[in-house]
Amino acid sequence: DSGVTQTPKHLITATGQRVTLRCSPRSGDLSVYWYQQSLDQGLQFLIQYYNGEERAKGNILERFSAQQFPDLHSELNLSSLELGDSALYFCASSVGVGVGTSRSPLHFGNGTRLTVT
């Protein structure tokens, strides 16, 4: 158990809808990350928050947004959903702001499987 908690585990929704994915980081971790995993793209970085502030952004669609709250949990909001958004969405957390200088690896949750029909 990595200590990173994601809810819900599964989500089935229709095109055009909006969903919210939730993540609680490991105790003591200040950074939260969101990654998307699909069969053809592999694991793709979406966005990172550190202590409530956006730290880094990947190829995150404008229809997607995220935030990190004062208690450090994070939410990923996906709107105007399309069939191609079906994927596994992983949250990860780490102690420091980066994995290089702080030498703190990312620890992943077990993901939310999103199916858009």
Q: Is 60 in the site for other proteins (CB under 8 A)?
A: no
Cβ closest to other proteins, residue 79 vs residue 104: 104
Cβ closest to other proteins, residue 24 vs residue 94: 94
Q: Count how many Cα atoms sit within 13 Å of the Cα of residue 53 in the half-sphere of its side chain.
A: 3
Q: Is 114 in the site for other proteins (CB under 8 A)?
A: no
From the CB of 84, what's the least distance to other proteins, in Å?
19
List Cβ neighbours of 71 (8 Å cut-off, separation of 6 or more).
Answer: none
Binding mask 17-56 for other proteins (x = CB under 8 A): --------------x-x--------xxxx--x------xx
Cβ closest to other proteins, residue 33 vs residue 81: 33
Number of helices followed by number of strands (H, E) in the chain: 0, 11
Neighbours of 81 (CB within 10 A): 21
Query: How many angstroms from the chain centroid is the CA of residue 20?
Result: 10
Q: Is 103 in the site for other proteins (CB under 8 A)?
A: yes
| Residue ranges in contact with other proteins by CB under 8 A | 2, 4, 31, 33, 42-45, 48, 55-56, 58, 90, 92, 94, 97-103, 105-111
